[in-house]
Amino acid sequence: MKYLVYVIGLLPIFLFRFIGKNYEVESFVQFDEKFASILYGNDFITLFHYVGDTATVMIFTLIMVFYFGVKHQNYRAILFIVATVAGGTAISQALKAVYARPRPNIAGQLESFSYPSGHAMLGVLFLFTAAYLFTKLSSNTKASIVFWAISITLAVLIGLSRIAEGRHYATDVLGGWSLGIAWFTLCVIWYEQRERALKKNRSL
């Protein structure tokens, strides 16, 4: 069952690649225009930009690193956090340069490239990382489900906030989510393999 989850988690990379090659196709252009017409200027959704802002993410990432380093001495968890958040940020920035997609044409637009949305990807990575590690520590199934539900909801709203602000196209956000899920899954696979190897060595 777990390996099926891994496969499902890695599949979005194909969606990311597909969007990256075809975002200028008319159906995707219409998709972007539709979501922009619905969300652009929505002040409530725009507020969630701050949840996925780089400063916010870095603060919570440092809190997680401190918590697992000082309280649990779990340095593997620290590597996992760094790999997901910092590694994901580096991948996002590198791929922006590869695709070099201009941002939506609005006044005062940012000068960096548009695809994929870094906020959408980073929102997935830091929120899913927090939810995953919380689930590892908690024996309360209901609490874990609630934590995951909140994390997924916030990740969605962070991505939508970028459309509401006019900073990204909907396809940028979808690409960011897809890449974030795939990279997170890859990091989880590494983390759990190391966890199994450690348990095996301890049993010898």
Q: Residue 104: is the preceding peptide bond cis (ω within 30°)?
A: no
Please give the average per-residue pLDDT across 135-149, as a whole number: 92
Please give the average per-residue pLDDT across 136-143, as a whole number: 90
Please give the average per-residue pLDDT across 160-188, as a whole number: 97
Angle value at C-alpha 56, between 54 and 62, nearest 5 degrees: 100
CA torsion 7→8→14→18, rounded to 10°? 170
pLDDT of residue 73: 87
Please give the average per-residue pLDDT across 78-103, as a whole number: 95
Task: Give the model's confidence band at 2: pLDDT under 50 very low, under 70 low, under 90 confident, else very high.
Answer: confident
pLDDT of residue 203: 65
Please give the average per-residue pLDDT across 37-54, as a whole number: 94
pLDDT at 204 over 70: no
Please give the average per-residue pLDDT across 104-119, as a whole number: 90
Model confidence pLDDT, tens digit, residues 144-169? 999 999 999 999 999 999 999 999 99
Task: Give the model's confidence band at 138: pLDDT under 50 very low, under 70 low, under 90 confident, else very high.
Answer: confident
pLDDT of residue 111: 86
Rg (CA), the chain: 18
Please give the average per-residue pLDDT across 47-76, as a whole number: 91
CA torsion 152→156→159→164, rounded to 10°? -150
